[in-house]
Structure 1
Amino acid sequence: MSNIGVVSSCSCIHPLVHLLRPSIQKKGLHTAARLAAKDYYEVLVLGGGTGGITMSARMKRKVGAGNVAVVEPSETHYYQPIWTLVGAGAKKLATSARPTARVIPRGVEWIKSRVQELNPDKSCVYLENDKKISYKYLIIALGISLHYEKIKGLPEGFNHPHIGSNYSVHTVEKTWRALQDFKEGNAVFTFPNTPVKCAGAPQKIMYLTEAYLRKTGKRSTANIIFNTALGGIFGVQKYAEALLEIIKARDINVNYKRNLVEVRADIQEAVFENLDKPGVTEVYKYDMLHVTPPMGPPAVLLNSPVSDAAGWVDVDKETLQHKKYHNVFGIGDCTNLPTSKTAAAIAAQSGVLDKTISLVMKNKLPTKKYDGYTSCPLVTGYSRVILAEFDYNAQPLETFPIDQSKERLTMYYMKADMMPFLYWNGLLKGYWGGPGPIRKLLHLGLK
């Protein structure tokens, strides 16, 4: 099973398009993808996902396109947040994909290769075929890796019907097929015992499934089960309370501290470990199974000098500068920033990191501080979304002067239609740094 881990999977960027600076970047050719034409760049970006493309666009304007390179092996860039709706049949998979060549900023070199080793002490990295690239400044945006293989029987289980996963391009359409084929019985949804990108996504498809079954007259014969390794439904109390009301009203069964460890696809059984009782397992029969895979840092970051003990890039949580190497920076899912891993977080981080690097280049200390802002549009039906926004302290940090814990049709259209537009035309081109200024305006300067 291929791991698709370079693009953040939950986009919560705000679609205030009329306030967005018009893009001055015209579509055009960047340097052809290949092994690096040069062996030194002023700014080297590792990863061509959300964070990598965004920062390469910002760095191009700072040091010039010819001085920036992006290392990325994949030929396709995916807007993964829309996969929640693809898995529920509300969007087509093709709408989430663009050629990498089209999203890398014009003139920035695309090095179509994989990173094999980071050597920050010598300010260089090694790519495939032992190609060495040196840099003045390094931005690490390598995303997060999916590990379906860590669940016994799951990789081969995808060859059977009734199993899907919205986290991979290879399995998201299987979710929709499993939903359409469902007739009666247990529909089981999982959340793993690891960090994940977009922690709301595992339950979004559950709400959409429940809505679909109601719409198609199958709800009365369905038992919807959410087995999560976490101890609560959501990490922010305000939104957790709203979600629990929905769960109660829709008769959804939630089991906490349950971690999927095995799938027996031939007999349609899912085995969960009870985390409160180590070694004790529970078996659930399923007629539909949606799996959120275990996730972790990319392999190249494990035991790397730039990483903490767990393998995440070790950065200052306010400036995104590396704690040891002052010419190294991190952004997005691969970092140890203590906030949810979403594209909304990357948007806010990109604005801070831009300011940080600008000051470092002038031999000044960074002053701009990232407050942990992140967001997750919690899709609760085919026409409803709760727009959760919060900070490092798990406190709501809402942009609009309304109660965003309420399900709203307007927020659904933001998620489904406007956010993708802002992603492709604003964030990836380096013109969107999150809704902070808009929030301040709408709240009359008050937090």
Structure 2
Amino acid sequence: MPIEPLRGDIRADPALDHQLRAVLARLSEGAELPRELPGIAALARRLVEGAPASEIDRQIRDLSHAGYVRGALVSLAAHLRLRPRPDLVLVLARELCDALAPDLGVELARAALALPEVEDSRWQPTGAYAAANLLLGDTLLDRGDPLGALRHFEALLAVDIDHARALRGWSTAQRRLGRGGAHASRGLALLEGLDATELVAGLGVDRYELGRPLGRGRHAVVYQAFDRRVGRDVAIKRLVAEGSDGRLVSARFFAEARTLARVRSPHVVALLDVQPAHRFVALSLCRGGNLRVAVRKRLLGPADLPRVGAQIVSALRAVHAAGAVHRDIKPANILVREAREGSPVALADFGLALADPRSGSGHAGTLRYLAPELRSPGPAARATPASDLFSAGVVLLELALHPQPLPAVFDQIGAAAFDPEEHVPKDLPDGWTDRLVRMLGPDLAARAG
């Protein structure tokens, strides 16, 4: 819902600042910086210019759909520490509650609700007070806390007894309390509370001892775990999507596992176990983070281009030999085996992969790594091994140019006309200048050369 702006800035508030610092601490690692991505830079510029919340919300959602949600939210949180605005605080809280970090979103919304300026908007039907209470009510209901949700719905009904959304939420919370707290998850709230629940309940399989969470997405949580049977650490990727979309998401989840099972390469994350009844798969564990994180930690740099490039190309050859196309090659999906210099990399996350390139649209993946032939709409656009190689070329160019950002042309939707010789450095070692020019060129057959 649109939030009516408040007059003036929020006074410095320790509780709010504490929550904003917590957001930065949680999300900064691996987040794209304004100097690295024009879209993030544009967002930062509009924040400084005082753009309306509706425009900022739209920019963040566009960046989220393109795969840059962390960078967008980090830029917003950093700006809010300097120039807090209640409408933008709630934009940030809503995005956090939508799966990325619901615990932080709840605490941030609570901090906003405690501000005198937000309390003063109590009688505005679309004000910050109403928006904060609705966000907290809906989120707590999804988190399995109907009693906590009830308090926020009742706060809103005390102001507007006929508020339709608050009435629906209040009724749902009452029903769930009447059933002893049973609730139905919509599959998007991947919660801190889930971590504790899963760690206590386990996986339903005695073989694995569940450890700390490593990451989360909209439909799955990844944990470090110990395989008691063979005595090694593994990564457990557990599906948590339920509700109306649960069956479709589950089918895609295990289709990803079947695709991965056909691939044989030391530079592809290995599938170790599949447990459909318990909704998880076990994968080889990579301890060094993803490629972007490793570069920022100086575990990798431009000098590693020949080694990393050869390993990524080798991984893609194995994927393509298995008859699949990955469709989402980007730094976040290339993991580093160990947290040390010289560690090999491994291709991961086959959630968008096509087991048969002849089926399905090519319109998937992240814009800046998308091949030019896939950027134009139309049924003729199909993902192929050549489009994977183009994406890998962009990743390697990004590594070669570090700490300089990628050319802006990669972030343009209609960037079909692109001259790689204009942007690829001329002095890359071991023939990688020519190799990258071919990978980023328009000749699909030459990309594999």
Q: Which has the higher strand share?
A: 1
Larger Rg: 2
Do both proteins adopt the same fold according to a TM-score greater than 0.5, normalized to the shorter chain? no
Relative to the length of structure 2, the TM-score reads 0.28
Relative to the length of structure 1, the TM-score reads 0.28
Query: Which structure is higher in RCO with an 8 Å CA cutoff and minimum separation 6?
Result: 1
Q: Which has the higher helix share?
A: 2
